[in-house]
Amino acid sequence: MASCTIHTAPYSCSISRPAAKAFSLGFHQRHQQLIFFSSGRRSAVVCSAEKTVVIGLAADSGCGKSTFMRRLTSVFGGAAEPPRGGNPDSNTLISDTTTVICLDDYHSLDRTGRKEKGVTALDPRANDFDLMYEQVKAIKDGVAVEKPIYNHVTGLLDPPELIKPPKILVIEGLHPMYDSRVRDLLDFSIYLDISNEVKFAWKIQRDMAERGHSLESIKASIEARKPDFDAYIDPQKQYADAVIEVLPTQLIPDDDEGKVLRVRLIMKEGVKRFAPIYLFDEGSTISWIPCGRKLTCSYPGIKFFYGPETYFSNEVSVVEMDGKFDRLDELIYVESHLSNLSTKFYGEVTQQMLKHSDFPGSNNGTGLFQTIVGLKIRDLYEQIVAERAAASAAAAKV
């Protein structure tokens, strides 16, 4: 792929030749893009007022990425839907601001192919990182791409779908931070880290209670995935700007139900445009049980922790919530004591959580921290837009 970028304020223009086979042509009203298609060299020239902001979200399958994405989209005010009139099995979700693509679409081997070669979907050999890099790079540069579709129903690779450059592109899946080239394209990265105990409790809940699988088969399927997971997925968390870690509660001794969770939001320090949230006193170490004289909570209560830690040799700030919210007043009380939330008005976190009270995790730290990370991404996006506007204004003055 040949690619170069010419910044001509207020437009940034790029010439690229991605591996995808077709391009949109003309002026894209919403994105203020001019797109030219050159059939001979299969390249496009795109002039865009905005470069796409790219967010990476890594997690194992079935670990709440889609809930997270719905929360994120909601923060921007729109509802995410599959591309209109496209493949009904598309994994893509599009809203006014964001486009979420699933990295399973970059599987180079379909289900049969993986079986034949004896590799799991977690294995890098089952994924096309060159194409992933080229297409994410193209979208970031304002170029629409024809992205493949991995059909989760059939296990086959379907014909590609057109992905136009959105304001924010979220790439979610198993490997958003695996390939260093893709990693370098990310403006912000998140890793959803579900502990084995909780993963096991969730799988039992879903696969045993709802799908009739046996306990043994669930254990076996988790064990079978574990070596590849540990080798290829788990190490990505060291690169994440924010990690949401989901652990069993410490409020109930020996709890293995997985209904009450201890959730930790691990925020890397020194990340541009990302100010970690904190509790009461920035930089100190605090544990806080809000339930007391002013706020009463049911058993087992709620406990927060905040403090500086080291995570894979990086300085991080951690905010932790153990327990669950029973009532609205608990949620707003907690929100009122957190700082740097990047809300636009008092109570916005609570409002977002209430709006989606039917989403999994809306009464615990997973929902809380997903919502907060959503607000942080909005803030990061708005900072980038403001910086560009300032740069354009400065350039216009010259």
Alpha-carbon span 188 to 134, nearest angstrom: 18
Residues 287-316 that bind its own copies (CB under 8 A): 287-295, 307-308
Per CB under 8 A, the segment of 134-142, 206-214, 278-286, 371-379 that binds its own copies is 278-286
Measured CA to CA, the distance from residue 240 to residue 186 in angstroms comes to 10
Q: Which stretch binds its own copies (CB under 8 A): 86-94, 282-290, 343-351, 355-363?
A: 282-290
| Shortest Å distance, C-beta 336 to its own copies | 9
Chain residues 327-356 in contact with its own copies, contact rule CB under 8 A: 337
Is the Cβ of residue 187 or residue 322 nearer to its own copies in the bound state? 322
* Residue among 370, 362, 290, 303 nearest 330 (CA): 290
| Nearest residue (CB) to its own copies, 26 versus 292 | 292
At residue 269, the 3 state secondary structure works out as coil
Q: Quick one: 196 or 287, whose CB is closer to its own copies?
A: 287
Q: Find the binder of its own copies among 217, 284, 298, 357 (CB under 8 A).
A: 284
Characterize the bridge pairing of strands 261-268 and 314-323.
antiparallel
Stretch that binds its own copies, among 222-230, 283-291, 318-326, 376-384 (CB under 8 A): 283-291
CB 38, min distance to its own copies, A: 53
Tokens of 314: 């990086």
Using the minimum distance from each CB to its own copies, give the nearer residue, 160 or 308: 308
Tell me phi and psi for residue 376, to 5 degrees: -65, -35
Q: Quote the least distance from Cβ 261 to its own copies, whole Å.
A: 20
Shortest distance, position 241 Cβ to its own copies, whole Å: 18
Q: Check if the beta carbon of residue 326 is closer than 8 Å to that of residue 320.
A: no
Instruction: Kindly list the distances between the CA atom of residue 221 and the CA atoms of 64, 106, 201, 203, in Å, as whole numbers in the listed order.
Output: 19, 23, 14, 10
Taking alpha carbons only, the member of 153, 102, 79, 75 closest to residue 353 is 75
CB of 295 to its own copies, least distance (A): 7
Contact call for residue 285 and its own copies (CB under 8 A): yes
User: How many residues form the binding site for its own copies (CB under 8 A)?
Assistant: 19
Q: Whole-angstrom Cα distance, residue 277 to residue 56?
A: 20
Q: Are 45 and 14 in contact (CB under 8 A)?
A: yes
Would you say 286 or 390 has its CB closer to its own copies?
Answer: 286
Residues that bind its own copies (CB under 8 A): 280-295, 307-308, 337
